[in-house]
Structure 1
Amino acid sequence: MYGQELKDSLQHLIEHFEEEAVPDYGRYVKEPARANKNGVQYIPRRVANPRVLAGIAIVGALTALSLVWGIKKTLQG
């Protein structure tokens, strides 16, 4: 990429940086790592991926419903 395409793309990035370049979640979204002349002094705690947590919750709910349905069916017949 070069010339006018590069200029247009950089201008687009400048205008839409928060939406396109900053992640929604992650270790460094809310606070940065800190370092000084001695090296890294602080690294924020890991942050769980909300999509993975939602997936685990859905799978757990479906498993529980399946178990309840299976037990109910077994008791009925």
Structure 2
Amino acid sequence: MKTLTARAANIALEAAAPDWIELLPAGPVITGRDGRAWNLPDPQALIAAFAARNQPLVVDWEHASEHRALSVWTRPLRLD
């Protein structure tokens, strides 16, 4: 029988969440860690599409929202 040992890493974290996080690079070509790429020629149009829905964006870790309550809802989006 295999025995697994759990180890915890003590990491210094900030006391509060940041005001803003980057969801996607501005583009126009975005390349993922696995090498796949996609185009985002008009990032402002993407932000406008989310704003038109008038619903917050769900932030989901590993599809966890399929099995329990969501962790984060966010709005507004902005382009820097």
TM bin, normalised by shorter chain, reads: under 0.3
Q: Which of the pair is proportionally richer in helix?
A: 1
Q: Which has the higher contact order (CA 8 A, sep 6+)?
A: 2
TM-score using structure 1 length: 0.21
TM-score using structure 2 length: 0.20
Q: Which of the pair is proportionally richer in strand?
A: 2
Q: Give 1 or 2 for the bigger CA radius of gyration.
A: 1
